[in-house]
């Protein structure tokens, strides 16, 4: 398997620290609101990475944090007149609901910053002791960037340039810094803010330290993969490397993976531009499986543009897979399920017709094509094309006279490949059902009003969606073609 490593800016062969195991850390959201569809991209992408490792037989220890102490959380708590933890706990619960809707597996561990303060104090103490950090007069603790010669290795920035860049921006309250490129590990409390006692001052942690500490606690000093959105490369991940490597005396993560940004109508998503959607808002218009499928239609490192047209295309694509999967399932039920033990290369295929044997060989080739795409830095776009080809194969070769084993084998293959993408092909799209029922209703109304042209137009639209209408005594019934 090859992974594009931001550290080397090259695709590298994946070699785990421990055979058969993957230790993976993904930076999670700051919980002050519902997650937006940009936050959903790393969740979906790295859940798919995890699923593919599991498909390949790896045991994955997947850690993803919730940043539950931060200026925006505190601001919202002040506005609502509640404790910051009320805000963060509320949005952690909402985030978990969205993740379930997106079929993102829960992490092995979901640590929270506020529950990891002792570990942070411990790491900060170590960094001070070994000369990599210092406390200023007001109790702020800074990381001494100049003490880490590798600083800049992830973002490919040079410390000298950084220092002069930072010198331009004078931040008030940071007068105690030795060097403009130094960053905060611990800061003094302000009125009305949550705080914890520490040897340096009552205060709270800087943002970066939490991830170094949680990765160490739940995965160890050295981990296989560290991931997040590309905006985190600098300064967040660069600072995590500095903290972890200076505190632990070991290289931190071997592979750094970063997803590209999600834009809306080719513009950066932002609240001020008004082009900002939460996952919750999208879930009112679409089945979230469509959003997941949309995200995986592009390579994870490419920028991705969110638009209604692309979502419609994803909806139709997903429906094509679902229709084929539903037909396979229906046939399987009609023909009787085949026995277990249908592997790719066993002698059971000899019982099949020549055309079916060729179908099995084609399905195996498509599985290999899918795996080759995923092995090449998780190229989900090409992997999805292989699923579409499999659907085509199934549609053109399966019928009521097929061997049960052939039908079962194809159904299982479709399900297996979709599962890595987190796509559940055999679920019904409730929102689509509602849309179909509304169209049928409109057609009935048109007929009542003797507007046959409109009634026919609606019937045509439904048939374009693969829906067959039947007039029965109980009224109009519909089924998928
Ligand atoms: P935050 O809550 O801002 O710390 O973000 C949580 C995760 O979402 C991080 O991995 C970010 O890089 C990622 N993220 C935020 N906005 C976007 C976006 N528009 N596109 C892709 N990833 C994003
Ligand atoms: Zn992080």
The predicted-structure confidence for 54-73, as pLDDT tens digits, reads as follows 999 999 999 999 999 999 99
Distance of alpha carbon 476 from alpha carbon 459, whole angstroms:
12
Percent of the chain with pLDDT over 70: 95
25: CA distance to ligand 2 center in Å?
8
pLDDT, residue 271, reads 67
288 located within any domain:
no
Does the residue 271 lie in any domain?
Answer: no
Ligand 1 close to Cβ of residue 30 (< 6 A): yes
Q: Residue 301 domain-assigned? A: no
258 half-sphere exposure, CB direction, 13 A CA radius = 21
When pLDDT is cut at 50, 70 and 90, the band that residue 85 belongs to is very high
456 and 363 inside one domain: no
Check whether 397 has a pLDDT greater than 90: yes
Ligand 1, atom 23: closest residue by C-alpha:
38
Q: Indicate if ligand 1 lies below 6 Å from the C-beta of 33.
A: no
- Mean pLDDT confidence for 401-419: 95
What does the pLDDT look like over 108-124, one tens digit per residue?
Answer: 999 999 999 999 999 99
Confidence of residue 427 (pLDDT cuts 50, 70, 90): low
How far is Cα 196 from Cα 114, in angstroms, rounded to an integer?
A: 9
Report the DSSP pairing between strands 21-26 and 223-229: parallel
Any domain includes 300: no
Of residues 458 and 346, more confidence is placed in 458
Query: Domain check: are 43 and 136 in the same one?
Result: yes
Q: Is the pLDDT of residue 417 over 90?
A: yes
Query: Distance (Å, rounded) from C-alpha 324 to C-alpha 339?
Result: 21
- Range scoring the smallest mean pLDDT among 41-50, 132-141, 210-219, 271-280: 271-280
Q: Say if residue 448 is in the same domain as residue 417.
A: no
Atom number, ligand 1, closest to the C-alpha of residue 262? 20
The verdict on 204 and 224 lying in the same domain is yes
Q: CA nearest 287: which of 257, 312, 265? A: 312
160 vs 396, more confident: 396
Residues 453 and 387 both lie in one domain:
no
Specify if 284 maps to a domain: no
Instruction: Give me the pLDDT at residue 344, please.
Output: 60
The more confidently predicted of residues 198 and 348 is: 198
Asked whether the whole model's pTM tops 0.95, one would answer no
Other Cβ atoms closer than 10 A to 308: 9
Question: Looking at residue 277, what is its pLDDT?
Answer: 94
Instruction: State the pLDDT at residue 431.
Output: 58
- Residue 294 in any domain: the answer is no
Report the domain count for the chain.
3
pLDDT at residue 318 greater than cutoff 80: yes
Judgement on whether residues 366 and 436 belong to the same structural domain of the protein: no
Mean pLDDT of the chain: 93
Handedness of CA 312, 317, 318, 319 (dihedral sign): positive
pLDDT for residue 129 is more than 70? yes
Look at residue 215 and tell me whether its pLDDT is greater than 80: yes
DSSP 70-81: SHHHHHHHHHHT
Same domain, 318 and 347: yes
Q: What is the pLDDT of residues 246-259, one digit of tens each?
A: 999 999 999 999 99
Give the pLDDT score at 121: 98
CATH number for the domain harbouring residue 371: 1.20.120.640
Checking 359-365 for CB contacts under 8 A at 24+ apart, the result is 359/393, 359/397, 359/406, 359/410, 360/406, 360/409, 362/393, 363/390, 363/393, 363/409, 363/410, 363/413
The residue whose C-alpha atom lies closest to atom 8 belonging to ligand 1 is 39
Q: Which of 259, 288, 323 is the last residue of a domain?
A: 259
Cα 228 to ligand 2 centroid, rounded to whole Å? 8
Contact call for residues 407 and 269 (beta carbons, < 8 A):
no
Query: Are residues 103 and 37 part of one domain?
Result: yes
- The whole-number pLDDT of residue 346 equals 67
Query: Does the pLDDT at position 429 exceed 60?
Result: no
The helix (run of H) or strand (run of E) holding residue 382 is helix 380-397
For residues 341 and 368, membership in a common domain is answered with yes
The CA-atom distances, in angstroms, between 106 and each of 33, 95, 439 are: 19, 11, 37
> Which residues, in sequence order, are CB contacts of 102 under 8 Å at separation 6+?
40, 43, 44, 47, 279, 288, 291, 292, 422
| 371 located within any domain | yes
Q: In 10 A of CB 396, how many CB atoms?
A: 9
Select from 452, 264, 393 the least CA-distant residue to 444: 452
C-alpha 98 – ligand 1 centre gap (Å): 15
Residues 398 and 440 in one domain: no
Q: Each residue of 431-467: pLDDT tens digit?
A: 567 788 888 989 989 999 999 999 988 988 888 777 7
249: domain CATH number is 3.40.50.620
What distance in Å separates the CA atoms of residue 286 and residue 311, rounded to the nearest whole number? 9
283 is a domain residue: no
Q: Are 10 and 4 in contact (CB under 8 A)?
A: yes
Looking at the structure, do residues 456 and 384 belong to the same domain, yes or no?
Answer: no
Structural domain containing residue 472 = 430-480
Angle formed by the axes of helices 288-295 and 37-55, to 10°? Answer: 70
Least confidently predicted of 299-308, 353-362, 465-474? 465-474
d(CA 250, CA 81): 44
- Out of 29, 229, 273, 306, give the residue to mutate to test ligand 1, the one with the largest number of ligand atoms within 8 Å of its CB: 229
Residue 252 is predicted with a pLDDT of 98
- Report the half-sphere exposure of 101 (CA within 13 A, side-chain side): 22
Residues 395 and 458 in one domain: no
Reply yes or no on whether the pLDDT at 342 is more than 80.
no
């Amino acid at each position: 398997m090859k992974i594009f490593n931001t550290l080397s800016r090259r695709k590298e062969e994946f070699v785990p620290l421990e055979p058969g195991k993957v230790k993976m850390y993904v930076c999670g959201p700051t919980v002050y609101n519902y997650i937006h569809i940009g936050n959903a991209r790393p969740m979906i992408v790295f859940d798919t990475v995890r699923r593919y490792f599991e498909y390949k037989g790896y045991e994955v220890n997947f850690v993803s944090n919730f940043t539950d102490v931060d200026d925006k959380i505190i601001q919202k708590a002040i506005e609502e007149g509640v404790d910051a933890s009320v805000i963060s706990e509320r949005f952690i619960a909402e985030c978990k609901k969205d993740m379930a809707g997106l079929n993102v597996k829960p992490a092995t561990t979901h640590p929270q910053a506020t529950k990891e303060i002792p570990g942070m104090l411990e790491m900060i103490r170590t960094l001070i002791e070994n000369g990599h950090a210092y406390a200023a007069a007001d109790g702020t603790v800074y990381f001494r960037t100049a003490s880490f010669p590798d600083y800049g290795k992830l973002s490919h920035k040079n410390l000298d340039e950084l220092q002069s860049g930072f010198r331009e921006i004078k931040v008030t309250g940071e007068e105690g810094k030795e060097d403009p490129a130094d960053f905060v590990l611990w800061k003094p409390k302000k009125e009305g803010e949550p705080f914890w006692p520490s040897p340096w001052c009552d205060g709270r942690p800087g943002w970066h330290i939490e991830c170094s500490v949680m990765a160490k606690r739940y995965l160890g000093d050295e981990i296989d993969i560290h991931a997040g959105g590309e905006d985190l490369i600098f300064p967040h991940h660069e600072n995590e490397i500095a903290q972890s490597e200076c505190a632990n005396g070991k290289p931190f993560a071997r592979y750094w993976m970063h997803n590209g940004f999600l834009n809306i109508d080719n513009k950066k998503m932002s609240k001020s531009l008004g082009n900002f959607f939460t996952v919750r808002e999208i879930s009112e218009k679409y089945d979230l499986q469509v959003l997941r499928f949309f995200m995986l239609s592009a390579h994870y490192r490419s920028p991705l543009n969110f638009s209604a047209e692309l979502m419609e295309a994803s909806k139709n694509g997903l429906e094509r897979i679902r229709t084929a999967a539903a037909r396979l399932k229906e046939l399987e039920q009609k023909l009787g399920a085949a026995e277990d033990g249908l592997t790719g290369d066993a002698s059971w295929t000899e019982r099949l017709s020549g055309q079916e044997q060729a179908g099995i060989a084609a399905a195996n080739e498509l599985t290999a094509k899918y795996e080759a795409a995923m092995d090449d830095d998780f190229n989900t776009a090409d992997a999805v094309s292989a699923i579409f080809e499999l659907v085509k194969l199934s549609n053109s070769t399966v019928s009521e006279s097929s061997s049960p084993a052939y039908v079962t084998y194809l159904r299982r293959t479709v399900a297996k490949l979709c599962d890595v993408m987190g796509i559940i092909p055999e679920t019904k799209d409730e929102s689509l059902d509602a849309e179909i029922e509304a169209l049928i209703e409109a057609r009935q109304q048109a007929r009542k009003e003797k507007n046959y042209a409109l009634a026919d137009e609606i019937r045509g639209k439904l048939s374009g969606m693969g829906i067959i209408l039947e007039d029965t005594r109980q009224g109009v019934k519909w089924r998928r073609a």
